[in-house]
Amino acid sequence: MTLWPDLEILLSKTDLDAAFKRIWLALMDIDLFATDLPGRELIEAAREEVTEQEMRELVEEIAAFCPGLKALPLEEAWASLFSTLIFVYMVLPFGWSGSPGRYGIFGLLPELATQATAPAEPRVNGPEPLDCKTHVDDATRAEAKLGYRPFLSSRVYDGNAVNVFGEGAVNPRKKQVDGRPATVSQWWGYILQVMKAGASLTVSED
């Protein structure tokens, strides 16, 4: 873009749909997904925070599904809960505890493929390779308004993303909002306006 300093710069973004869930897990990784749940530790930690009455009420509630608990002393019944209850972590909505780092490697592939591509007809669209930077599941681009270059950059990345992650990888709803090259775009929590050379924080949705 430094070769075309007087041209307008257009921004665009691609959001990958359910990005982390598109990475296949190897058999060795299943432990991190389904079995690494410290039930015993959670029960023991909870014992220090509940009263005896609260503990009794919980045991009686679970005993409706596990009648054998009623025959045990209260403390023993409480200690047995870890083998009865199933704890589900809701901290990582994308999937499993190794997903951010593992996904980062796969997410780099369409970025590098886009950066290694130069548009056809360089006399019209410029000879430089296309721009692309990825942060987690958002791929952003800043291109000079030269020929069809901004639109080609978006199209090339989307094609590379589909090749890596499969059909439906590009979120169609967000593509309509952020995918069209424009002078204003929201990247990673910031609103960029290239013509004003400024940036601002987004308004909280809470």
Instruction: Give pLDDT tens digits along the chain (206 positions).
Output: 556 677 888 999 888 887 766 766 554 454 554 444 555 666 667 777 778 888 888 788 877 777 777 788 888 887 776 565 555 444 444 444 455 666 777 888 899 999 999 998 999 999 999 999 887 778 889 898 999 999 999 999 999 999 988 888 888 887 887 778 888 888 777 788 876 555 566 676 65
List, in sequence order, every residue forming a beta bridge with 140; answer none if it has no partner: 13, 133
pTM of the model: 0.60
Length of the chain: 206
**pLDDT given for residue 192 in this prediction:** 80
Amino acid at 103: Y
Rounded to whole angstroms, the Cα distance separating 14 from 12 reads: 7
**pLDDT given for residue 159 in this prediction:** 93
Residue 170: DSSP 8-state: B
**pLDDT given for residue 195 in this prediction:** 66
Where on the phi/psi map is residue 167: left (φ > 0), alpha (ψ -120 to 50), or beta? beta
Token couple for 5: 């300093």
CA distances (Å), 38 to each of 35, 45, 61, 132, 184, in order? 9, 11, 22, 41, 46
Rounded to whole angstroms, the Cα distance separating 98 from 102 reads: 6
- Report which secondary-structure segment, H or E, holds 63: helix 52-63
**pLDDT given for residue 24 in this prediction:** 62
Rounded to whole angstroms, the Cα distance separating 179 from 54 reads: 53
Beta strands 138-144; 9-15: pairing state: antiparallel
